Amino acid sequence: MTFSRLSLGCLTALLAAVSAAASANTGASESAHAFYYSWYRNPAVDGAWAHWNHNVILRDGSGPNFTPPESIGANFYPAAGLYSSNDPEDVLRQMLEIKRAGAGVAAVTWWGRGHPTNESLPVAFDAAEKAGIKVCIHLEPFPGRNAESTREALVYLLDTYGAHPALYRHGGLPMVYLYDSYLTPAEEWAAVFTPEGAKTLRGTPHDWRVIGLWVKKNDGPALKRAGFDGFYTYFATD
């Protein structure tokens, strides 16, 4: 996998798509990343449902909540049942499924230190290590996220998981996808992600390989000014 500091030599994140070479052997390719959402809870493990019972999303607003286990907030019903993202056995099974699909990295969602996904993140790291794959971070737009709070979050994540064997690194640096990065102006990101930025992480022990979100066709110049190392598309609109 190669990309440069923004000619935007692009890293296109793969949603469970893998190369023929990866699927033809028993290993998994670290060039294939599968997005993994760890916000699910069930009564057996956590004492209550979470996310399986989110509200029905309607065109004109929100409807009533789903009522698991019969009715769930998902397009497909899991063959293994309504799992908890805090259950080490469930998460290990899923990491092994990701590996069998040929993806060598799980991009695990993270909504900040006060969110349930922070609680489930060490479970994902430990399961990935056992499965023989890696973890990178899919950093969501948590409440109050801006360039400065993102910097603090990245320092925290690297201090917490930097020594974990399952942390994915590219060119020696851990990788983070910044979802909805366009919500913060490029000039503010540049303070953290360009070498000359006032609060730069570049060249420090907390540096990351940072991937911004490209949504509209003219987003390239802003991503470059922001100092991102590459981009992903996720749901590009035009």
Answer whether residue 64 is part of any domain.
yes
Count: domains in the chain: 2
The residue range of the domain holding 159 is 20-39+85-232
pLDDT band for position 238 (50/70/90)?
low
pLDDT digits (tens, 9 = 90+) for 29-39: 999 999 999 99
Choice among 87-96, 156-165, 228-237 with the minimum mean pLDDT = 228-237
Identify whether residues 76 and 52 lie together within a single domain: yes
Tell me: do 49 and 150 sit in the same domain. no
Summarize the confidence of residues 81-104 as an average pLDDT. Answer: 98
Query: What is d(CA 77, CA 79) in angstroms, rounded to the nearest whole number?
Result: 6
In a domain, 8, yes or no: no
Residue 235 has what pLDDT?
80
Share of the chain above pLDDT 90, in %: 82
- If asked whether residues 52 and 130 sit together in one domain, one would say no
In the predicted structure, residue 181 carries a pLDDT above the cut 60: yes
Which pLDDT value is given to residue 57? Answer: 80
59 assigned to some structural domain: yes
Confidence of residue 17 (pLDDT cuts 50, 70, 90): very low
The answer to whether position 199 is within a domain reads: yes
122: left (phi over 0), alpha (psi -120 to 50) or beta: alpha
Indicate if 173 and 202 belong to the same structural domain.
Answer: yes
The CATH number linked to 224 is 3.20.20.80
Of residues 175 and 26, more confidence is placed in 175
- Is 70 part of a structural domain of the chain? yes
- DSSP-derived secondary structure for the chain: ----TTTT------SS---HHHHTSSS-EEEEEEEE----B-HHHHSS-BSTTPEEEETTEEEEEP-TTTS-SSSS--TT-S--TT-HHHHHHHHHHHHHTTEEEEEEEE--TTSHHHHHHHHHHHHHHHHT-EEEEEE---TT-SHHHHHHHHHHHHHHHTT-TTB-EETTEEEEEETTGGGS-HHHHHHHHSTT-TT--TTSTT--EEEEEP-STT-HHHHHHHT-SEEE-SS---
Residue 18: what pLDDT? 41
